[in-house]
Each structure stands twice: as C-alpha cells, then as structure tokens.
Amino acid sequence: MEIFRCPLSHLISLILLLFYSEAACGPTKRRLYKMQTFRIWDVNQKVFYLSNNQLVAGYLQAANAKLEEKIYVVLTESPGGMFLGIHEGKLWLACVKSGEKNTLQLEEVNITDVGRNKEEAKRFAFTRSQNGSITSFESAAYPGWFLCTESEGDGPVSLTNEPGDTTRFYFHADQ
C-alpha cells in the first residue's frame, strides 16, 4: 500500500488541507439566536400588558401585577439592534405602514426564520439607544419613529415620530 509510505509531512499537510476545506465550506452566516428576558416600563411607571390581544401600557397593582408582560429580546447583527417579543417570545412587535401612518402590531412568527431574511427582519427590528438609565427604541423599518406609550394609563403601545417622555423607558434584564 503506497499511501502508507508517504512522508509524515505529506500526511499532516493532507489532514490540514481537509480540515481547512471543511471549515471553509461550512455555513458562513450561522447565528445563534439567544433570547434574553427584560422588564420594561415608561418614565411614568406604566408597564406593558396584553388587553384584548393589544399591547398596552398602564398601572398594574396588587393582583393585576401578574399581567405584566416581560420583553423577550433577540439581538440582530446591527449594533444596538434587537427584536422585541412578548408572551414568552411567541408574539413579536412589528412596524408596518397602515395608510399614511406607521403603526405597531403584534405578530406570531418564528423570529429565527424572520432573522434570516434581512428585508422581512427590518420591520421587526428596533435600535436601542441608551442615555444613562433611560432607553428608547427606534424602528429599523421607519427611522425617526419610536416605540411609545400614551400619556394616560391603559393606552396602546404604538409608534411616534415625536420623541419625548412617551418614548423613554426603563429597560432592565429580568432576574
């Protein structure tokens, strides 16, 4: 068997070539989608919760405190970019155009599938900006439009192009 009579250096070179070729041919854009859980509330202490399948922000006390929705986050490839979900990561916030207005809606999607298509992923993506302990979330699909709450309690979480107190949030990892 001639193959076993080759010098050891040839055999090592062959092994290195095969190892390098396998690594080079493997998937180049493989991502791990790690989901993290956060608490969110606006600067007026309103928390997010579901009411009639709509995400709203309001003051929850005593027995109602258990209705608070945690925010499930999956980071995107862009700096500060993330997908925001609720309901144990089953519903995801999406920015869509409704007539002339940019709106926020909840969609039941597999975010790992969405994340593979950059154009589709854009409407689910938000860019997080932080100033001290205050965070804001800008829509990747509609730059200049921010996640917001209503001034009054129990109003829908939506989008606005007028930054202010309604676009400022406390956003902390859930312990």
Total number of domains constituting the chain = 1
Is 84 inside a domain boundary? yes
The residue assigned the tokens 């155009």 is 97
Q: For residue 166, which of 150, 145, 153, 152 has the smallest C-alpha distance?
A: 150
Residue 15 is assigned to a structural domain of this protein? no
Q: Is residue 76 part of a domain?
A: yes
Provide the residue count of the chain.
175
Q: How far apart are CA 53 and CA 96, in angstroms?
A: 17
Please report the DSSP string for 43-86 in residue order: TT--EEEEETTEEEEE---GGGGGGBPPEEEEE-SSTTEEEEEE
Residue position matching structure tokens 């709106």: 103
Is 90 inside a domain boundary?
yes
Q: What is the CATH number of the domain that holds 138?
A: 2.80.10.50
User: Would you state the structure tokens that stand for residue 144, as one six-digit string?
Assistant: 């200049």
pLDDT at 29 (0 to 100)? 47
Q: What is the mean pLDDT of each successive set of 10 residues along the chain, which is 175 residues long?
A: 54 50 42 83 97 96 94 93 96 95 96 86 96 98 98 96 97 91
Task: Give residues with Cβ within 8 angstroms of 69, minimum separation 6.
Answer: 47, 48, 49, 50, 55, 86, 87
pLDDT at residue 77, rounded to an integer = 87
Q: What is the pLDDT of residue 78?
A: 87
At 136 the three-state DSSP class reads strand
- Report if residue 136 sits inside a domain: yes
pLDDT value of position 16: 47
| Residue 109 falls inside a structural domain | yes
Q: Is residue 28 part of a domain?
A: no
pLDDT of residue 119: 84
83/139 Cα distance (integer angstroms): 10
- Asked whether residue 133 is assigned to any structural domain, the reply reads yes
Report the distance separating Cα 147 and Cα 136, nearest Å: 7
- Retrieve residue 117's tokens: 């298509």
Q: Show the domain range for 39.
A: 35-173
Distance CA 75, CA 38 (A): 13
Q: What's the pLDDT score for residue 6?
A: 54
What is the value of pTM for the model shown? 0.80
